[in-house]
């Protein structure tokens, strides 16, 4: 089985570039999907407390053929658990549900600027990292002002920001900020709900390479240097989404895909979501 490429994190660790996400994976299928994904070669699993399937994630890890220390597990603190003490309780509850002593990456799921608690929550994650309850810490859905605030106040730079990113929402300014600060960009909804599958640059690259539209788009993320976490609860989809390393897009194809950016979100606006 082919080794998956890994990206360097700014705390000296590394993360597999490609993983799979568990959002909307049914509770009673989660352990199975985790086991299947690991058996196929995935080493990065993206979970969250709000997905409601952390217990299945844990069961999948315990019953998989791949040792725990070879798997990179992410989970996230949900919006109603922000704040200095509440976030600590939320992290402990996630660890208990998954059934592990620590996770590899803990994220703040959304900044929820109206709550005014993301800085306190970030300080809690720093403490939990220093106490060894989580290995690496990062954020999700943060914009530049939110990142500047937590970095400015604590001096601790998140290892990663998990953001909505796909051909119709390419996030160039945020990616440039990440690059300047050594933050890995991780793309959620990387397939953009399939809305670009029929776009001419995607179809042309798919035809030339003999790959599917989904694989072309995932390969585009890889070549941008992003980590990417498509979801699929179908085994065929899981296998397809990992099969990205025996072809490459040309510079012209990358440039053609960059023209598809129309700033269109499929999910909420992080400035307003709470
Ligand atoms: P996605 O872009 O992975 O799309 C999923 C949809 O595409 C599903 O309907 C799936 O069946 C289909 N699909 C998957 N592989 C396919 C293939 N090869 N060909 C055709 N269709 C295919 O989107 P997503 O699930 O929204 O996002 C992926 C992961 O990102 C989630 O599971 C979750 O872990 C994470 N996420 C994070 C946030 C956040 O706020 N941090 C928000 C949403 C999602």
Residue 197 alpha carbon to ligand 1 centre in Å: 14
Residue 199: how many other CB atoms lie within 10 Å: 19
CA nearest neighbour of 78 among 68, 63, 89? 89
Which ligand 1 atom minimizes the distance to the CA of 110?
40
DSSP states of 106-160: EEES---TTTT-HHHHHHHHHHHHHTTSEEEEEEES--HHHHHHHHHHH-PPPSE
Is the dihedral angle over the CA atoms 212, 217, 222, 226 positive or is it negative?
Answer: negative
| pTM reported for the whole predicted model | 0.97
Residue 230 alpha carbon to ligand 1 centre in Å: 4
pLDDT at 8: 98
CA nearest neighbour of 57 among 89, 14, 26, 13? 26
**Residues 58, 110: Cα–Cα separation, whole Å:** 23
Cβ atoms of residues 143 and 111 within 8 Å: yes
Residue 214 alpha carbon to ligand 1 centre in Å: 11
Cβ atoms of residues 209 and 216 within 8 Å: yes
Q: Is the pLDDT of residue 1 over 60?
A: no
Write the pLDDT tens digit of every residue in 208-266. 999 999 999 999 999 999 999 998 778 889 999 999 999 999 999 999 999 999 999 99
Instruction: Give how far Cα 73 sits from Cα of 42, 106, 181, 208, Å.
Output: 11, 9, 23, 35
Residue 217 alpha carbon to ligand 1 centre in Å: 12
**Residues 60, 25: Cα–Cα separation, whole Å:** 13
Which ligand 1 atom minimizes the distance to the CA of 22?
32
pLDDT interval class at 2 (50, 70, 90): low
Give me the phi and psi of 171, to 5 degrees please. Answer: 55, 45
pLDDT at 4: 81
- Which residues have any ligand 1 atom within 6 Å of their CB? 21-23, 46, 109, 140-141, 162, 188-191, 194, 212, 214, 229-232, 237, 240-241, 267
Write the pLDDT tens digit of every residue in 34-90. 999 999 999 999 999 999 999 999 999 999 999 999 999 999 999 999 999 999 999
Residue 85 alpha carbon to ligand 1 centre in Å: 31
Q: Whose CA is nearest to atom 12 of ligand 1?
A: 232
Which ligand 1 atom minimizes the distance to the CA of 190?
2
**Residues 50, 74: Cα–Cα separation, whole Å:** 13
Furthest-apart CA atoms within the chain: distance in Å: 54
Which ligand 1 atom minimizes the distance to the CA of 192?
2
Residue 42 annotated to the active site: no
Q: Which of 72, 167, 231, 238 to mutate to test the pocket of ligand 1 (most atoms within 8 A of CB)?
A: 231
The one catalytic residue in 51, 118, 142, 220 is 51
Q: What percent of the chain has pLDDT over 90?
A: 96
């Amino acid at each position: 089985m082919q080794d998956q490429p890994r990206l360097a994190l700014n705390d000296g660790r590394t993360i597999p570039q490609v993983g799979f996400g568990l959002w909307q994976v049914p509770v009673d299928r989660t352990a199975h999907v985790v086991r299947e994904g690991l058996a196929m070669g995935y080493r990065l699993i993206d979970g969250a407390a709000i997905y409601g399937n952390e217990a299945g994630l844990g069961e999948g890890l315990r019953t998989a053929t791949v040792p725990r220390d070879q798997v990179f597990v992410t989970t996230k603190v949900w919006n109603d658990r922000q704040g200095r003490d509440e976030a600590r309780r939320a992290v402990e509850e996630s660890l208990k549900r998954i059934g592990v002593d620590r996770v590899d990456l803990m994220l703040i799921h959304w900044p929820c600027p109206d709550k005014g608690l993301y800085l306190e929550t970030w300080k809690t994650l720093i403490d939990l990292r220093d106490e060894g309850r989580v290995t690496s810490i990062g954020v999700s859905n943060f914009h530049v002002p939110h990142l500047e605030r937590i970095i400015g106040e604590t001096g601790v730079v998140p290892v990663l920001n998990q953001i909505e990113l796909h051909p119709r929402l390419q996030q160039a300014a945020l990616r440039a900020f990440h690059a300047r600060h050594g933050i890995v960009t991780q793309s959620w909804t990387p397939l953009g709900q399939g809305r670009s599958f029929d776009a001419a640059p995607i179809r042309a690259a798919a035809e030339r390479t003999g790959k599917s539209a989904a694989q072309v788009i995932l390969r585009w993320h890889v070549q941008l240097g992003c980590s990417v976490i498509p979801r699929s609860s179908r085994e065929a989809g899981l296998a397809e989404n990992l099969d990205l390393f025996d072809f490459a897009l040309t510079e012209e194809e990358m440039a053609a895909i960059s023209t598809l950016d129309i700033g269109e979100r499929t999910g909420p606006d992080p400035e307003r979501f709470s």
